[in-house]
Amino acid sequence: MTNISRLSKKIGAIAESATLKVDAKAKALQAEGRPVISYAAGEPDFPTPPHIVDAARAALDDPKNFRYTAAAGLPELREAIAAKTARDSGWEVPASQVIVTNGGKQAVYQAFQVLLDPGDEVLVPAPYWTSYPEAIQLADGVPVEVFAGADQGYKVTVEQLEAARTERTKVLLFVSPSNPTGAVYTPEETTAIGEWAEANGLWIVADEIYQNLVYDGVRAVSIVEAVPALTDRTILVNGVAKTYAMTGWRLGWMIGPADIIKGAANLQSHLCSNVNNIAQRAAIAALNGPQEPIEEMRLAFDRRRKLIVDELNRVPGFHCPTPEGAFYAYVDVTGALGREIRGTTPRTSLELADLILSEAEVAAVPGEAFGPSGYLRFSYALGDEALLEGVRRIQTLLAE
Ligand SMILES: Cc1ncc(COP(=O)(O)O)c(C=O)c1O
């Protein structure tokens, strides 16, 4: 008998994605015929706009798409991404500094693989998207949480970041708009954080995947637009999933300084080679084609955002700041904990989420998936009727 474990320590330590777990539980109950309303999914409920699907169809008729292509991506797509980055992030980056990845998720993974040595620390503003700490740990880095609650609009301050900085700190993760909170940093806040990072020689990994989903006239200013000196030490992560309703197409990208991108391209060439050419052709149509369908989706999200935030704030014990971006409402539920409801007394948001699922048949993701307990995330990427019905069920349950 050998005492070598079956699974490596690194892989054995990975936690199952909590968001996918809640979604799977909701779907299993639905399959049993229970009328579960799920706010768990992190994806638009709209179909991909037809002109994008048409471009993919046309790509299937062209045999050159059946072959391996450059690992870093199709030249036309890298150009389209560079143009989008100049437009939306204010960085006139050459296409050679763009790599196309299998979703933003792979870009996040590669960013930390390329930057981190064992023990390097990454400042992770919390609540955070559930995959960041795993991606950091898989690169032998150490995630250092910096928490901002509802009282500060879920946005960390320079003072908090400075208090968490050590001589091992290498990277600041910057996500605006944020998943799970929908918080968007103002241009002034972004500049202050960017200048602090620049002054301390930190690297930035900026996840801009929700940058086009913003409301109330706000703009999510890129940290490299706010502090241009950071372009030599920043990796931007982005993709078509959220803005273009293309989550299943698996198309994202990373942008950074030439040496970093060269390193990431080397990694990707051994990991997965090029991204599916059909998805790449579709992404060219998404970025270069008409943007009206995207605006229609954004307006629908905006309407739902107002509906859900109003209703959530009517639930006894719930407090939901108005999110300015993405498609999530993040509710402070501490006021609803510690009280007996139908024979149980939920003391954590995990227990409250379980109670709401079993008693009201409504699925929301507990804060434990994104950092501290005491919160529930509601995605409002679902139709108006279900959107209202689900929150009303919670209102009824928690008013008992
Ligand atoms: C903040 C954030 N970044 C990146 C991603 C990855 O998106 P994808 O891999 O689908 O492009 C997600 C998806 O949920 C996300 O919420």
**Which ligand 1 atom sits closest to the C-alpha of 107?**
9
In one letter, which amino acid is 281? R
Digit-by-digit pLDDT tens for the chain (400 residues) are 577 889 999 999 888 777 777 888 888 899 999 999 999 988 899 999 999 999 999 999 999 999 999 999 999 999 999 999 999 999 999 999 999 999 999 999 999 999 999 999 999 999 999 999 999 999 999 999 999 999 999 999 999 999 999 999 999 999 999 999 999 999 999 999 999 999 999 999 999 999 999 999 999 999 999 999 999 999 999 999 999 999 999 999 999 999 999 999 999 999 999 999 999 999 999 999 999 999 999 999 999 999 999 999 999 999 999 999 999 999 999 999 999 999 999 999 999 999 999 999 999 999 999 999 999 999 999 988 999 999 999 999 999 8
Looking at residue 1, its pLDDT comes to: 59
The domain ranges of the chain are 9-47+293-398, 51-288
Pocket test for ligand 1, best of 131, 251, 370 (most atoms within 8 A of CB): 131
**Which ligand 1 atom sits closest to the C-alpha of 240?**
11
**Which ligand 1 atom sits closest to the C-alpha of 129?**
1
Q: Report yes or no: 183 and 155 within 8 Å, Cβ to Cβ.
A: yes
For ligand 1, whether the C-beta of 42 sits within 6 Å is yes
Which CATH topology does 51-288 take? Aspartate Aminotransferase; domain 2 (3.40.640)
Sheet of 365-366: strand order equals 328-332, 375-379, 365-366
For ligand 1, whether the C-beta of 127 sits within 6 Å is no
Q: Give CA–CA dist 359/173, Å, rounded.
A: 38
Q: Among 96, 108, 105, which Cα is nearest to 70's?
A: 96
Please give the C-alpha separations between residue 378 and each of 94, 110, 186, 196, 365, in angstroms, as whole numbers.
Answer: 38, 29, 23, 32, 7
Looking at residue 5, its pLDDT comes to: 86
Choices 3.40.50.12160, 2.40.50.140, 3.30.70.640, 3.90.1150.10: CATH for 9-47+293-398: 3.90.1150.10
Distance (Å) from CA 207 to ligand 1 centroid? 9
